Amino acid sequence: RPVIGVLALQGDVREHLAALLELGADPVAVRRPEELAAVDGVVLPGGESTTIVKLAARSGLLGPLRSAVRSGLPAYGSCAGMILLADRILDAPPDQETIGGIDVTVRRNAFGRQIDSFESVVDLGLDGGPLHAVFIRAPWVEEAGEGVEVLGRVVGGAADGRIVAVRQGNLVATSFHPELTGDRRVHALFVDIVRSSVAAAHPAEQAGTAA
Ligand code: GLN
């Protein structure tokens, strides 16, 4: 079972742990560098990105998170987590640090500060049809680089066509919170990415033969 960490400094950690457990992963809360070193993948939960990044710096996790992601550790960020995985952030405090890794520009609280939360349909092209997505003071992807795969956009309404789900290599980010809805397809996609990454790192074990 792949060991998947959930960065547990602030935000909706428990919901991600529950989703991962349901999918047959071995989820663990990550609060310290030693815990991060032991995972096959990491989830960055929704919450408040400015707070999460400060707490991560304080607990000595920011540097290790950056180097882990840079060396290919699979990561999935929802909402605040999407902001953390973005290479560039708009409408953030000027000193807001990021983990980075996905070549996107993300706008914080993009749907309007007055809109605390709303729900919308997003088509991710996954089996089972469009997904019912919950947005809470959510960011959107304002610009995506060439290497970024756009997984989904808002359908209809004032934000029609806005990019809200992306993937670049082993990194996935969504503006919305699939951990809150019981639709496990986004987490399942991420668990698959983690399984493939583990298999690629240990091809002999996977094939059941000696190297
Ligand atoms: N607005 C928050 C931020 O900037 C994100 C909100 C969320 O994760 N639900 O971090």
Is the C-beta atom of 136 inside 6 A of ligand 1?
Answer: yes
CA distance linking residue 154 with residue 166, whole number of Å: 12
**What percentage of residues in the chain have a pLDDT greater than 70?**
95
* Binding-site residues from annotation for L-glutamine: 47-49, 108, 136-137
**pLDDT confidence bin for 83, thresholds 50/70/90:** very high
Going by alpha carbons, the residue nearest to atom 2 of ligand 1 is 48
- Cα(2) to centroid(ligand 1), Å: 27
Please tell me whether residue 7 adopts helix, strand or coil conformation: strand
CA distance linking residue 164 with residue 27, whole number of Å: 25
pLDDT of residue 113: 64
Res 183 pLDDT > 70:
yes
Active site residues: 79, 177, 179
Give 155-164 contacts, CB < 8 A, sequence gap 24+: 155/120, 155/121, 155/122, 155/123, 155/130, 156/120, 156/121, 157/120, 159/111, 159/120, 162/110, 164/122, 164/133, 164/135, 164/138, 164/140
pLDDT of residue 208: 55
- Cα(98) to centroid(ligand 1), Å: 13
Is the C-beta atom of 107 inside 6 A of ligand 1?
Answer: no
Between 202 and 108, the more confident residue is 108
Q: Across residues 178-186, what is the average pLDDT?
A: 95
- Cα(82) to centroid(ligand 1), Å: 9
| Interface ipTM above 0.85 | yes
**pLDDT confidence bin for 118, thresholds 50/70/90:** confident
- Cα(79) to centroid(ligand 1), Å: 6
Is the C-beta atom of 13 inside 6 A of ligand 1?
Answer: no
- Tell me which H or E stretch contains 37: helix 33-37
Q: Which residues contact 82 (CB under 8 A, 6 or more apart)?
A: 106, 139, 141, 166, 173, 174, 175
Is the C-beta atom of 137 inside 6 A of ligand 1?
Answer: yes
CA distance linking residue 181 with residue 22, whole number of Å: 13
CATH topology of domain 3-207: Rossmann fold (3.40.50)
**pLDDT confidence bin for 205, thresholds 50/70/90:** low
**pLDDT confidence bin for 125, thresholds 50/70/90:** confident
Q: Which of the listed residues 109, 111, 174, 181 should we mutate to test ligand 1's pocket, taking the one with most ligand atoms within 8 A of CB? A: 109
Residue 33 · residue 64 · CB < 8 Å: yes
Quick one: residue 188, left, alpha or beta (phi over 0 = left, psi -120 to 50 = alpha)?
Answer: alpha
Res 206 pLDDT > 60:
no
Is the C-beta atom of 46 inside 6 A of ligand 1?
Answer: yes
